[in-house]
Homo-oligomer: A and B are copies of this chain.
Amino acid sequence: MTQRYLNLTSLSRALEIMRQRFPPSGHAESMPLQLAVGRVTAEPLYAEYSVPIADIAKFDGYAVKSHETLGALDQRPLPLLTYLGINTGDVIPPAFDAVIMVEDTWEEGGRVWIRKSAAPGQNIRRTGEDIQAGELVLPKGHQIRPSDIGALATYGITSLRVRAVRVGIIPTGSDLVPPGTLPRPGQTVETNTLMAEAYLRGMGATCHRYGVVPDDPDRILETVAEAVAENDLVLVSAGTSTGSRDHSRDAVARLGEIVFHGIAMRPGKSVLLADLDGKPVFGMPGYPVSAQTVLREVVANLLLWWGLAPPLIEEMDARLARRLTSDLGFDEFVPVSVGQVNGTCWATPHPRGGGIQMSVVRANGYIHIPAGREGREAGEGVRVSLTAPSATVARTVVCVGKRDPVIAELGNRLQDSGYLLHCCNASTIGAVLALRANTCHVASVVLPDMESAWNDLVLRYLPGVNLLRLPVGMAELGIASTGEPDPETLALLRVSNRPKSQAARALLDAWLEREGIGHPPQDPDLAAGAEMRVCSVGEAREAGLLSFTPIGYESFNLVIRQEVAAEGGVAALIRTARSREFRASLLATGRELAGGSGDEPLNPGDAAPARN
């Protein structure tokens, strides 16, 4: 039953078809006022009565008849004739037409005196000054703010009709286990419907999540039919791809008409839209980032068309820190971290891929590469849709390079200074080049503990730049294997299962050299299996590889341009990294630190590595 997408619809065309097929349907629900923040009015709201409901005093003082005060002057004070002591908010009796503030009067001889005549209406809040009975307070289609809650209540409105869409969400997949379960290998925690509910509730939709339906075409069909009857819109999670266990398409095809299946969009290509009894049924891909993209770019678009509240997304101009490729004809969405380096906002991409949820968690925005573009060049201006408040961008410290628990812990502690550390994954050379291009505040680089490393891997790319090097961790690497490997097997590490990290490769090659182990013969049958690799002691233990032959140390370093070391976020990062508390936490996690004071400003001329 393997089938390919017959043809991918472009994103813009898909949205157009969708809007044509499913026009706004006017769904609404009534709710008490105090729950309506963020919701959108379904009907105009009018004041029940005038506010103020009568003429009232603006200040404490005396209600007077203005014509009786005519002629009062500084040189010719007059006593009040008819008057009434009055407090702020008190009703002005019909006989009076002005209020004189108490501080503009004085008592003398049992009478109240004034030096200035009162104008008619003076210091009176007129009936209806704020609003007239029957006047429009809010038009339909208005998203309610907290201040509107107070105003509506003031004008006599305590419940109202707001736009509402009932969304049924069906998780499918025999591999699914509920959140909070430790998944066995091959199992997936069912979280996409939780995320979808959180997202759609934010737009004012009412969500009902159904129980997990296994990969059984009949059960899926049955649940979809039930959900369509009970809701205005249905989301079927997963099973929309074209593998042998993807039954969602067939289920909806049997119940209604497929509107489109497959959009030229990444992530989220395998989205499906069907029309069941005039109601939209979406098939949402199973990869979490794909699902998020489909929700945001497709499902939310329909809900907006139907009049629900848009999720508030701030946008910002930035320059792209590195080149991004994209297939012509595909709309691509790429998570990025935006930070301000040297006065320029740079957007550094995170790894793409529907399964890498952490890319989205770590990012503070995303960029859209439209279908008509084959990617974006480094340095090109891009528009970033932010997923964090724009005010946080100025407080974001961008680190490019090796991600590591040490960096994460550093970022966690940096929060105390009000700064946010964003770490974008890159190789050591990628990190050094980002530092050279001035697109990041900090490079995190892993260096083999060898004489020439600092010079070869860092300094040579940054000639003439004053650098600050903060070693934040050391780890011993070794060759881990199931049994004690013989030299012939070890030689295989030169060609197969070679470590990806530059530092580990350098240490391995140097060790093989020292041990006199040469190149292996060209016999593929002897290639090293997954059972031998270069890693740390901890990783070896975790993988159950009991033999560990140490080959050397790698150090984990933050590298910073001296010229920015005193700037707010960077300075705070340096302080945090040097702090006793952070260093103590490193010891607790078993990460040894490079000896000495912990950081050494190095000039290009100094070729000395952190440790010899």
Most chain B CB inside 10 Å of its own CB: which residue of A51, A140, A195, A408: A195
Interface segment, A89-97, A324-332, A461-469, A546-554?
A89-97
Contact of A387 among B141, B147, B361, B420 (CB under 8 A): B147
Residues facing B in A410-431 (CB within 8 A) are 411-412, 414-415, 420-421
Q: How many copies does the complex hold?
A: 2
Question: Min CB distance, A475 to chain B, in Å?
Answer: 14
Contact of A141 among B244, B361, B415 (CB under 8 A): B415
Q: Tell me if A130 and B356 are in contact (CB < 8 A).
A: yes
A598 within 8 A of partner (CB): no
Q: Tell me if B524 and A67 are in contact (CB < 8 A).
A: yes
Q: Tell me if B140 and A412 are in contact (CB < 8 A).
A: yes
A360 within 8 A of partner (CB): yes
Q: Which residues of B contact A135 (CB under 8 A)?
A: 405, 408
Q: Please give me the residue from chain B that is nearest to A119 by CB atom.
A: B496
A89 to B88, CA, bound (A): 72
Contact of A198 among B34, B189, B201 (CB under 8 A): B34
A25 to B125, CA, bound (A): 43
Number of interface residues of A (CB under 8 A): 111
A231 within 8 A of partner (CB): no
Contact of A120 among B147, B243, B357, B497 (CB under 8 A): B497
Q: Tell me if A150 and B191 are in contact (CB < 8 A).
A: yes
A506 within 8 A of partner (CB): no
Contact of A183 among B34, B49, B389, B409 (CB under 8 A): B49
Q: Which residues of B contact A421 (CB under 8 A)?
A: 139
A536 within 8 A of partner (CB): no
Interface string of A186-199 (1 = CB under 8 A from B): 11110110110111
Q: Tell me if A194 and B97 are in contact (CB < 8 A).
A: no
Interface segment, A151-159, A275-283, A564-572, A600-608?
A151-159
Q: Which residues of B contact A357 (CB under 8 A)?
A: 51, 130-131, 147, 150-151, 154
Q: Which residues of B contact A438 (CB under 8 A)?
A: none
Contact of A148 among B54, B184, B361 (CB under 8 A): B361
Question: Min CB distance, A340 to chain B, in Å?
Answer: 16
Q: Tell me if B151 and A180 are in contact (CB < 8 A).
A: no
Interface string of A121-160 (1 = CB under 8 A from B): 0000100011110111111111101111111011010100
Interface segment, A7-15, A106-114, A525-533?
A525-533
Contact of A530 among B51, B94, B310 (CB under 8 A): B94
Q: Please give me the residue from chain B that is nearest to A50 by CB atom.
A: B542
Question: Min CB distance, A466 to chain B, in Å?
Answer: 30
Q: Which residues of B contact A485 (CB under 8 A)?
A: none
Contact A194:B91 (CB < 8 A) given known A56-B186, A288-B154, A355-B129: no
Contact of A310 among B201, B288, B389 (CB under 8 A): B389
Question: Min CB distance, A192 to chain B, in Å?
Answer: 6
Residues facing B in A199-223 (CB within 8 A) are 199, 201-202
Q: Tell me if B137 and A243 are in contact (CB < 8 A).
A: no
Question: Min CB distance, A395 to chain B, in Å?
Answer: 11
Question: Min CB distance, A604 to chain B, in Å?
Answer: 34
Most chain B CB inside 10 Å of its own CB: which residue of A120, A154, A191, A245: A154
Question: Min CB distance, A357 to chain B, in Å?
Answer: 4
Q: Which residues of B contact A52 (CB under 8 A)?
A: 355
Residues facing B in A205-263 (CB within 8 A) are 241, 243-245
A332 to B48, CA, bound (A): 31
Contact of A243 among B60, B139, B142 (CB under 8 A): B60
Contact of A179 among B158, B186, B188, B388 (CB under 8 A): B158
A37 within 8 A of partner (CB): yes
Q: Which residues of B contact A312 (CB under 8 A)?
A: 312, 314, 389
Q: Please give me the residue from chain B that is nearest to A241 by CB atom.
A: B88
Q: Tell me if B241 and A358 are in contact (CB < 8 A).
A: no
Besides A97-B529, A139-B415, A150-B192, 6 more A-B contacts (Cβ < 8 Å) are A33-B179, A91-B186, A146-B202, A147-B292, A151-B191, A156-B182
15 contacts between A and B (CB under 8 A): A51-B357, A65-B529, A70-B524, A88-B243, A120-B497, A125-B355, A135-B408, A149-B198, A150-B194, A150-B291, A151-B195, A158-B180, A310-B391, A312-B389, A314-B314
Q: Which 9 A-B pairs have the closest CB atoms?
A: A150-B195, A136-B408, A54-B185, A67-B527, A153-B191, A70-B524, A146-B199, A139-B412, A141-B415
